[in-house]
Structure 1
């Protein structure tokens, strides 16, 4: 089959989200064809270049979300009216205050608003298709005035009613950026209209081309979210004072919430990487019947030698591996280690990782200062273990050339985070057959199952007690480590991930009517060019119905009397 892979800020660029997962997926499904449609986030991402692509990628088309270009399209009177109508509906939905009265069951205002949002979204896309562009209209004074009228209208939510001109301009600019995919020329028969399935590698802007391919050409949509895009928006930090204003935050949150709901409503299947993300999808409006959990696939080969060989690590060493930032809560880990040293004076702690950004660098400096304060007679050195109980190291040196080597350097791997999605570093430790002690955040419990110890976050004493218990019991460490490796090999390999998506592709295609007829060079239809429709709705047992070869997917023969059928 032919897959349209939709990305935003990731594959096929060298840097970005889900790049490695997309590359492994495409390479693992060599029997299919892939067309990649990528939205680029920044000029730097374009300058860094793209990854080498396998031969099954037949086409790559990109569009820049960071660069605003004037399309030069000037609307006539009728087009201006169409734009005002659709953009006005969109703005009205974003400004509307949702009902909080549970006793009001006369109608479903949320469903009506969802339909109005969808109608406005697809109406703007049809306008862009008919007129040749949308960017100038989205940045026009008319768009700002339309948004202002919606904010001042009766029934608008309080933050919207108090929006100032600068805040209206900020919202208009953000909406223009988010709606740029509506004006792309990707949706014709030589683009996404020719694929059998659209697979969006995330929600949000990446899924928008898939919605339009479904609207214009009936192409089914699969949405994969390893991190729920709407949750990321809620937790994002404003980059300017204007974007942090209550009116701006409220209106943009309404837009992204409506877009997520429409994406979930139109998608044939929605996958998440763990139950934590799946619960978020349900809260954001996803139908439970469409949800599938497909755990991330990781390459187990680099950890095979460590996991299959005898344990050679220092039995008194704890190791933490990850990206150094406040969410990892190394403060609690250091305080816990102070208690561990009281119970086990020979214990050591290796903190292996690099800081993430300026905030991470400042956090690392604080951690070093805290370690020096907690162990004044054994000041923590920057790169050596030696006689120091705590060391701060980075991956890449001769002693720790890889994350696998870092995990293997300790008898117990510790995770102390207060915020975590899918704990990839913890799974690497499982591949290495290491016992683990983790905080109960994100998808940690789902990842480790019963193969490690779990404690509450921000609880140094509980963390210390769990670590001491494993340090004193080598047989238990070995037993948990072996179980962890078996679980990781069963659930978290690249092979299981690719196989799961291959099955989902077939499932979606089997339930989707053929949306296009393929012709040969002579103009004759190719009867076997499209995948077979294996799923025929309706009953298949009993004397009432029977399929007939010439019927379509939903066709069934009329009831046949039992006496006549017996002749």
Structure 2
């Protein structure tokens, strides 16, 4: 007979060995591209009969956006529209986070795309945007009483607030809290929970205790500050009150709040998560702080909340694909493993942006900028450069095509234009639906931004065979290469001199324009970008860069193992063992067999049958060795 201590030690030995072998199996799956059965068991893909195989016809992707597609114009929206319109073999669900429900939709979705709209403001009830039956909403409100809030919601809420305000971030902890909150709001009411007296008292207590310690570097808040910061949490996390669709891959357009649905899908459904970064979201928020006029407390609170969300995206994304190499330095700084980073440059339509020979010559030397009227585009510098260029080339014209994003900034630009007597020289032409024609009206294309990622305006100009003068920000230098002139940001004198050089030398303009188009054709076509994104979807969804064909014996193995997992989940260990053994027999050479054997060992451990657990672990070792040898052979 074994003593209790002997049994306990033996149990721990088997348990440690079980997990060690389990992780060895997962490593082999990763290194040798084995197809783990768990990826099949949790798949929601539709299969159709194809001879002796079952084949997936279409990939389902949830594309998440924030303040962009399909409700606003801009580079990110252009990128989204390319993906959705051109990848016709993919079924998209657009999960669009918008400021309010009254925003006008700017893009018409194609037939392969549906949409979930999530307005953060402009609604009285957080469930107004949902199709949830009134009876369910009413029931949730009815059952969300003080006792439920204090016992179920408040512990999660407390962890959430502590994670947001802490300078050191724990993204896995935050992900777990958000996942549990998402489950909570499937049953209980969002508004009654967040706006409860208990939530206010806990929030106030945590913040005041934290700010009393000077080492935490968070200023003392006013009552208004407390209300405002809690209001931000309430509004931004309405995402947690929105049910998720079942898809094969999620794709977030930023490491921002729009990445939270992707995080939830990964934690809830094990859905692979692709993150694209156009700009660096956290950096952009830092740059915009000075314009907001918030108190010190609100500035710090907001940045720490955004830092938490960005870190969460980076930690849980399976693939991080910035649109330029420049962004990778930020991602690595925030802990993204280099192996997860795969740069995919933006691309443009080479036919749409071709240089047509029948364009009439400009009556005046002309500089064109395609940019929205926004402080980050730094049109003030371009206006100041224009007055310098005009002194040298009196008949020069500057034309800016773009909508007004920040009215106050537009007024500032108009005032400076008037002060410098440039009303006839510097023209705001408004938004254009024909960007190629806009570029063709210029001799030189200018970009004066103080921050960018990989701007479409640069590669579109290059594809139109136009030389570019641009500021050295983001991935601009990567795009331009040696086919234009790069200048310092916020330097009107240097910008003006570069423009004068090109405007006075038509041969240089022509040579740089031809080189620019050649470079764009080699690196920045929409076809190249679409191919890389489709390959990424296929790789994440199936483990290979082409649609996965699953033999019928693996299909049977999948079904049997699903039964085993379901039985194990409710504690029916012996029945689970039986189903796992049938699953192994269905495809004995499958790379999923080691995983199934470890599940059988786990079941025996739970039954207290340690000898049988040990036998199964021995089989795992042998099977792993067999699979590895076959791979090498």
Range of TM-score over shorter length? 0.7 to 0.9
Work out the CA distance in 2 between the residues paired with 1:212 and 1:254. Answer: 20
Q: 1:61: which partner in 2?
A: 116
Matches within 5 A, 1:115-154: 115-129=172-186, 131-153=187-209
Q: Is the 8 A contact 1:220 1:268 kept in 2?
A: yes
**Which residue pairs with 1:536 in the alignment?**
none
User: 1:267 deviation in Å?
Assistant: 0.8
User: 1:554 offset after TM fit, Å?
Assistant: 6.7
For residues 272-326 of structure 1, what are the alpha-carbon distances to aligned partners after superposition, in whole Å with 9 as ceiling and x for unaligned? 22233333333333332212222223333333243x6688446844444433445
CA distance in 1 between partners of 2:426 and 2:225 (Å): 48
How many Å apart are 1:17 and its aligned residue? 7.8
Q: Indicate if the aligned counterparts of 2:362 and 2:442 stay in contact, CA closer than 8 A.
A: yes
Q: For 2:96, what is the secondary structure of its paired residue?
A: strand
- How many residues get paired? 489
Other-structure match for 2:318: 268
| Distance (Å, rounded) in 2 between the aligned partners of 1:17 and 1:132 | 39
Partner of 1:433: 465
Alignment correspondent of 2:609: none
Q: Which of these residues, 460, 463, 467, is aligned with residue 495 of structure 2?
A: 463
SS of equivalent to 1:293? coil
Q: Does 1:442 align with 2:474?
A: yes
2:417 corresponds in structure 1 to 368
Q: What's the counterpart of residue 400 of structure 2?
A: 352
Q: Point out which structure has higher relative CO (alpha carbons under 8 A, 6+ apart).
A: 2
Which residue of 217, 230, 253 corresponds with 1:201?
253
Q: Verify the 8 A CA contact 1:95 1:156 in the aligned structure 2.
A: no
Cα distance change, pair 330–142 in 1 and its aligned pair in 2 (3 A): same
- Name the counterpart of 2:270: 218
* 1:93-144 superposed Cα distances (whole Å, 9 cap, x missing partner): 233354xxxxxxxxxxx5xx44433332223223223x33333211222112
Distance 1:329 1:50 in 2: 25
Contact in 1 for aligned 2:383/2:417 (Cα 8 Å): no
Distance in 1 between residues matched to 2:370 and 2:456, nearest whole Å = 10
The answer for unaligned runs of 5 or more in structure 2 is 1-58, 127-136, 545-549, 560-586, 596-621, 627-633
Q: 2:233 aligns with which of 142, 162, 175?
A: 175
Distance 1:172 1:141 in 2: 12
- Among 572, 589, 597, which residue is 1:549 paired with? 589
Confirm or deny: 8 A CA contact 1:430 1:488 kept in the other structure.
yes
Q: For 2:158 and 2:366, how far apart are their aligned partners in 1?
A: 63
Which TM-score applies when normalising by structure 1?
0.76
Give the 3 Å change call, closer, same or farther, for CA 300–116 of structure 1 in structure 2. same
8 Å contact kept, 2:273–2:318: yes
Q: 1:44 aligns with which of 88, 102, 106?
A: 102
The Cα shift of 1:269 comes to 0.6
Q: Aligned pair in 2 of structure 1 residues 164, 198: CA closer, same or farther (>3 Å)?
A: same
Secondary structure class of the residue paired with 1:43: coil
Cα–Cα, structure 1 residues 80 and 350, in superposed 2: closer, same or farther, change >3 Å?
same
Instruction: Say if 2:487 and 2:495, in contact at 8 Å, map to a contact too.
Output: yes
Which residue does 2:299 correspond to in 1? 249
8 Å CA contact 1:316, 1:346 repeated in 2: no
2: CA distance, partners of 1:50 / 1:477: 35
Residue of structure 1 in register with 2:449 after alignment: 417
Larger deviation, residues 320-329 vs 438-447: 320-329
Give 1:36 shift: 2.9
Conserved in 2, the CA contact under 8 Å of 1:3 and 1:199? yes
Q: Deviations over 1:57-104 (max 9, x none)?
A: 3x4333332224165251463552232211112222233354xxxxxx
Secondary structure, aligned partner of 2:469: strand
**Which position in structure 2 is the counterpart of 1:480?**
512
How do residues 530-541 of structure 1 correspond to structure 2 at under 5 angstroms?
none
Q: Supply the distance in 1 between the matched residues of 2:447 and 2:291 (Cα, whole angstroms).
A: 30
Asked if the contact 2:366–2:397 (Cα under 8 Å) also holds between the matched residues in 1, the reply is yes
Question: What SS does the corresponding residue of 1:304 show, helix, strand or coil?
Answer: coil
Compared CA separation, residues 265 and 128, structure 1 to 2 (3 A): same
Change in Cα spacing, 1:325 to 1:213, as seen in structure 2 (3 Å) is closer
Query: Could you tell me which of 214, 218, 231 is aligned with 2:283?
Result: 231
Q: Distance in 1 between matches of 2:70 and 2:387?
A: 46
The 1:261–1:455 alpha-carbon spacing in structure 2 relative to 1, beyond 3 Å, is same
User: Are 1:184 and 2:184 an aligned pair?
Assistant: no
CA drift of 1:9 comes to 3.2
Secondary structure in structure 2 of the residue aligned to 1:145: helix
Structure 2 length-normalised TM: 0.69
Rounded to whole Å, the distance in 1 between the matches of 2:380 and 2:96 is 40
CA distance in 1, matches of 2:420, 2:301: 44
Structure 1 unmatched ranges of 5 or more: 99-109, 373-378, 382-389, 513-517, 528-546, 561-567
Q: 1:426 to 1:548 in 2, by over 3 A?
A: same
CA RMSD of aligned residues (A): 3.5
CA contact (8 A) 1:94 1:255 kept: yes
Retained in 2: the 8 A contact 1:144–1:168? Answer: no
What is the alpha-carbon distance in structure 2 between the residues aligned to residue 4 and residue 119 of structure 1?
A: 21
Q: 1:261: Cα distance to partner? A: 1.0
Q: Does 1:84 align with 2:84?
A: no
Residues 1:479 and 1:311: Cα distance change in structure 2 (over 3 Å): farther
The yes-or-no answer on 1:300 pairing with 2:350 is: yes
Q: 1:162 aligns to what SS in structure 2? A: coil
